[in-house]
Amino acid sequence: MIGILGAGSLGRLWAALFPQDQVAFLPRPDADPAAATLGYTFESIQGSQRTIALPWLQSPDDLTLLLVTTKAGDTLDALQHWLPRIPESAPIVLFQNGLGSQQAVADAWPERPILAASTTEGANRPDAARVVHAGTGETWVGPLTSAARTELAGVVAQLSITGLLVHAEDEILPRLWQKLVVNAGINPFTAILDCPNGDILANEFFLSHIDPLCSEIARLMAAGGIGTPSPEELRQRIETVARNTARNTSSMRGDILNGRTTEIDFINGYLVQLGRRLDIPTAVNQLLTDKVKQLSPH
Ligand SMILES: NC(=O)c1ccc[n+]([C@@H]2O[C@H](COP(=O)([O-])OP(=O)(O)OC[C@H]3O[C@@H](n4cnc5c(N)ncnc54)[C@H](OP(=O)(O)O)[C@@H]3O)[C@@H](O)[C@H]2O)c1
């Protein structure tokens, strides 16, 4: 049985695409034990709709794979509740954006097969009972603990049953960083300016902060042994994605608009923490983190 912890947009997307007799959601600790199934309408990338009704997991003993699709800030707590009851051999795939939460999980259970995924699939929930596969992309999965190395091929094969494009990535950290850079350069600006991605590009606040932001990130990447892209390359990468997704609302802006906690602590906030450890100043990351936190509940 494949388990999904985090029955939100991304979790419901993967759940809808697995064979329906092989997948179940893991309930929140406070969930009604009498609730037997979770039902929703799934809208595929082609626009077709089908009704999904999946069970809540009753017995964690027969889990062969766990996908964790909670937000970064909920992940450690959610796993602390479940992992004592899940077989030690079951691979655990973390889908969170940003960085920090994945390392916290791998540090807490270093003996378990823990993997991280970076995905460009996009899913959203226009209302509580509907999930839309809004953008198709690719997913890279790689090991975080040594016990995960031998599981990688099997995990990729299991995830590929969904029909989504999934790749094995032996070095997942640089890939998580690539997404972190783009998220750090787009998300906080869209949240602070309350605009779609493309609109940041001509905004004075973005224009006056993007170069120093990219310099901070480039120094952190070099000092952390991640790579040596120039600040100009980073800016180009950020602006290309903002242009290509010009009409999209970032997840961080969406969280603010919906009164939800954002993942800023795992994006710009993570870069601030890393700067402290490496003794590299991160004034712009700190400014963006503070401004987003002023806008969101926490
Ligand atoms: N959506 C995407 O297209 C996408 C793409 C790439 C990466 N990601 C990343 O994937 C992660 C999930 O994103 P999302 O958009 O799916 O978020 P989401 O819609 O907010 O889903 C998160 C789900 O986790 C549940 N949850 C929170 N704490 C839990 C716990 N202790 N036990 C069980 N379930 C718990 C939440 O339940 P409640 O609803 O009850 O709060 C919610 O249903 C994020 O890190 C995001 O950055 C998302």
Q: Which two tokens stand for residue 262?
A: 């954002």
Considering the domain architecture, whether residues 288 and 251 belong to the same structural domain is answered as yes
Q: Give me the CATH number covering residue 22.
A: 3.40.50.720
CA 126 / ligand 1 centre spacing (Å): 14
Tell whether 166 and 229 lie within a shared domain.
no
The residue range of the domain holding 101 is 2-170
Tell how far the Cα of 133 is from the centroid of ligand 1, in angstroms: 15
Domains held by the chain: number: 2
Same domain (yes/no): 158, 199 = no
Report mean pLDDT in 10-residue bins for the chain, 298 residues.
Answer: 97 98 93 84 97 92 96 97 96 98 98 98 94 96 98 98 98 97 98 98 98 98 97 98 96 96 98 98 98 88
Q: Give the nearest ligand 1 atom to 6 CA.
A: 24
Choosing from 170, 188, 203, the residue where a domain stops is: 170
Atom of ligand 1 nearest to the CA of 124: 1
Q: How distant, in Å, are the alpha carbons of 3, 18, 192, 198, 288 from that of 243?
A: 36, 33, 18, 5, 21
Nearest residue (CA) to ligand 1, atom 15: 9
Name the residue at shortest CA distance from atom 10 of ligand 1.
Answer: 96
Q: What is the pLDDT of residue 41?
A: 98
Q: What is the pLDDT of residue 33?
A: 67
Residue 298 pLDDT: 61
Residues with CB under 6 A from ligand 1: 5-11, 28, 69-72, 74, 77-78, 95-97, 119, 122-123, 251, 263
Domain boundary pick from 170, 200, 235: 170
> Are residue 45 and residue 124 in the same domain, yes or no?
yes
Q: Does the active-site annotation cover 71?
A: no
Specify the ligand 1 atom closest to the Cα of 74. Answer: 28
Residue of minimum CA distance from atom 45 in ligand 1: 96
Angle value at C-alpha 148, between 88 and 122, nearest 5 degrees: 105
